[in-house]
Amino acid sequence: MFYKHIKVIAGICAAVVVMASTSVPVEAGTTGMPAVGAAPALEATSTSEQASATAALKTASKAPVQNNTSGVELAVGEASSDVYTTVHTAQTQAQQQTVPVEGVVEDTVLVVPEEETVSENDAEDFSNLVIAQVNDYVNVRSIPSEEGEILGKLYDDSVGEFISEQDGWYEIKSGSVQGFVKAEYVVTGEAAVALAKEVGKRIATVTTTTLFVRQEPTTESPVIGMVPIEDELTVTEEDVTEGWIKVSVEEGEGYVSTDFVTLSTEFVKAESKAEEEARLAAEEAERKKANAAASNSAASKSGATVSGGSGTGGSVASYALQFVGNPYVYGGSSLTNGTDCSGFVMSVYAHFGVGLPHSSGAQRGCGYDVGGLANAQPGDIVCYSGHVGIYIGGGQIVHASTAATGIKVSNANYRQVLSVRRIF
């Protein structure tokens, strides 16, 4: 990455000046973040939705900032500010940039990383797909015959890749299963291409450090939320405006630039015989734990209670409920001083010796899927587009919601649930 060096000519002698206390240091290799209480307004020449400083820093009076474990607290407001402010903890001050300038410095000089370009998303090719159209599932067999061994199941609307055709059977590859399905129970070709857009779930994976979600598809629109790198968002609408898509986040629906996401389509894949057996065994074990559990601890702050679940899962939910009312802080992971949604889940599980990633998208791949909200038990991680919470039973979750609401209890079905994951 190349850096911009700003020359200030205000005298005749040259010197190397380390940014003084009136300057706001920017850590090498990081991007600037928006001023507290104000959403950023980018310069007309910039199309970046990265949180990068593109205007000269002004040392005007700002709302106080509380540092957290991530080193920066951010809030969003009206898009009236033309200033970006970066806040660092003392740990980062040893990495301040030395800026070569000429003469006497009469204003603050800010070093800004050049923005990286992200390649455009290519259209996906669905022409090779095979999609099941049955009441429940179609068996995947070892040979193109009903005499073949059952290797797995391709459920209704599940998708595989076409390999070959033999005597009214299609050889397919789906998930970990490769075998043959009867052609009459699946669709291919143009029909599969059209159906793929209905049964597939469009996902936008964030490829920049901090992605702004805006009210309207323009850089002049106010920011309603921010999403960290590698988080996955559900796309609710495409082609609304060139270069923009509508996505779902905790604060509501908004728009993001396609320059800073990778678009893909998620499909349900076949389940192998071994995978099905393991899933059923795990579900049965959980049912036995639930029947034997008597974990109905009350949470002192929220008045909510934990209902059912395994002993460990119930303990996770009870522990999480202690922090209801504490603040939400983007990028944070402190259960008392402020955390975001994935930081909340990560820190709660860390108390029980479980290491989870600080990313809602990554947490959607942890543990195992229980098959939806109907099978959820206390302690399960409930995953939404760009958001996660902890199930506490009774159809409710506890989660770090937004800066306006902090950590709170909500109905679990207040938004579309993408997945429910079980750790214990």
Residues identified as active-site: 341, 387, 399
Q: What is the DSSP string of 200-227?
A: SEEEEEE-SSEEEEESSSSTTSPEEEEE
Contacts for 340-347: CB closer than 8 Å, 24+ residues apart: 340/400, 341/250, 341/387, 341/388, 341/389, 341/399, 341/400, 341/401, 342/231, 342/388, 343/69, 343/70, 343/400, 344/320, 344/390, 344/399, 344/400, 344/407, 345/381, 345/388, 345/389, 345/390
The one-letter amino acid code at 96 reads Q
Identify whether the C-beta of residue 407 lies closer than 8 Å to the C-beta of residue 302.
no
- Lookup: tokens for 116: 């990286």
Distance CA 20, CA 62 (A): 19
Please tell me what DSSP assigns to residue 81. B
Strand runs (DSSP E) across 119-222, as ranges?
A: 129-132, 137-141, 150-155, 159-166, 169-174, 177-182, 186-187, 201-206, 210-214
Please tell me what DSSP assigns to residue 298. B
- Lookup: tokens for 9: 């000519």
Identify whether the C-beta of residue 26 lies closer than 8 Å to the C-beta of residue 112.
yes
Give the H or E element holding residue 46. none
Stated length of the chain: 424
Residue 364's nearest CA partner among 339, 385, 348 is 385
CA distances to 47, 58, 60 from 22, in Å: 29, 10, 11
Identify whether the C-beta of residue 351 lies closer than 8 Å to the C-beta of residue 318.
no
CA distances to 290, 337, 378, 388 from 319, in Å: 18, 16, 11, 16
- Cα-only R_g, the chain: 26
- Lookup: tokens for 97: 């940039």
